[in-house]
Chains A and B, each alone.
Chain A
Amino acid sequence: MSKVIKILGTGCPKCKTMTSLVTEVVNENNIDASIEKVEDIMEIMTYNVMSTPALVVDDVITIKGRIPSKNEILALLN
């Protein structure tokens, strides 16, 4: 089943880094997933995170407030 990945962040440099890393990992490993950037603060707050960027995989918050390594992302997506 296709995974739904969401990246929560108001558009700071860290959030952009996270988005490009996740995109790279997905492409390099041919993972069946959709990537969505959530920039609206009200929507971000529905996830109850207080530090961005946050990585949400299938509606589960997996990482918040820091940029993960590519290996870490890969492990989270598998």
Chain B
Amino acid sequence: MFDWIQDLADWTVYKVLELDKGAHLAEALNFFIYDTIKILLLLFVIIFFMGIVNSYFPIDKVKNYLSRNKLYGLEYLMASLFGVVTPFCSCSSVPLFIGFVRGGIPLGVTFAFLITSPLVNEVAIGLFIGLFGLKTTLIYVTSGILLGTISGYILQKLKLESYLTPWVKELLANAQKEQDAFIADKKALKDRLPVIWDEVLTILKGVIPYVIVGIAIGGLMHGYIPEGFFEKYMAKDNFFAVPIATILAVPMYSNASGILPVAQVLVAKGIPLGTAIAFMMGVVGLSLPEAMLLKKVMTLKLIAIFFGVVTLCIIISGYLFNILL
């Protein structure tokens, strides 16, 4: 499917620039050209597709659905799935949290949404397909959804309502199942397209610099670091690799865009995939800026428990990947 991009990269590097096949520079450049084109194309397709889905399932509709329907335990999974199709912006996490609480949605279900939304988003999916292939992407997406579901469930069982900030507790007490009338857009797809298109361009514009820098660094590493280089340091049997990678990753904040191309090279050069995925989940899913924002609605203790449970789940899934893959 992507052969033509490889042909184009080969042609540019070996024919137009007349670089020697096998030279470090040529290999790095070839990798850069191939990956950049392929990934930007994939990103475009995925973001566009998610934009269409999201246009039909806006957040208000999701909230109303979750607060109105009795789902007998499936609500965690549903919230997690909705998290996938909702584009996430860390600055929206607080209003979203409040909106859910006010709609009478249980705290754990809200957490399930908050965990999956940044973890499995359109940009991460697009990059994953481009860098790791379809199979790994499916594993990542499935485990991201399960991670949100399970963490949400655990957090609900911990009964954390008392650790919300006072004004949120008040909202919780007055939560109502009632729904503010949500006027469903009955627009045809044709009329939705301009708005979706604008969104696609905005998101792409936002991530392109990170993607390009990420791929450039990846390309350099690809050309200059020998195969299997990291195996010495991060072997599969190194018990502490997964937790260390995850804990290092949590405070980091990059949009997935910058870190994924680098991670792909790390895997190619010998870091076990599970360790790399745990690292990426830590970077993409949890971040300090998000924690700072959440301080408005949660006490520090609650934020710590929230991050702790999710980190633990990420570490466990890292181990699972290393065993299974």
Q: Tell me the complex Cα distance, A14–B99, Å.
A: 20
CB distance from B210 to the nearest CB of A (A): 14
Do residues A10 and B91 form an inter-chain contact, with CB atoms below 8 A? yes
Looking at the complex, which one of A11, A65, A67 makes contact with B92 (CB distance below 8 Å)? A65
State whether B92 touches A51 (Cβ < 8 A): yes
**B177 interface residue per 8 A CB criterion:** no
Q: A48-B180, A67-B202 are in contact. Are A12 and B95 (CB under 8 A)?
A: no
Contact with B along A51-70 (1 / 0, CB 8 A): 11000000000000111010
Tell me the minimal C-beta distance from A46 to chain B in angstroms. Answer: 11
Q: Are A44 and B95 in contact (CB under 8 A)?
A: yes
- In contact, B89 and A12 (Cβ under 8 angstroms): yes
Residues of B in contact with A, size category: 20 to 34
Q: Is the interface of B mostly helix, strand, loop or mixed?
A: helix
Interface residues of B in 158-193 (CB under 8 A from A): 167, 180
Q: Which A residues have a C-beta under 8 Å from some C-beta of B? A: 9-12, 14-15, 41-42, 44-45, 48-52, 65-67, 69
Q: How many A-B residue pairs have CB under 8 A?
A: 56
B interface vs A, CB < 8 Å? Answer: 58-60, 63, 89-92, 94-96, 98-100, 102, 167, 180, 195, 198-199, 202, 293, 296-297
Can you identify 7 A-B contacts, CB atoms within 8 angstroms? A10-B293, A14-B91, A44-B95, A45-B102, A51-B92, A66-B202, A67-B202
Q: Which of B91, B100, B199 contacts A12 (CB 8 A)?
A: B91
In Å, the complex CA distance between A70 and B1 comes to 39
Given contacts A10-B91, A41-B296, contact A66 B59 (CB under 8 A): no
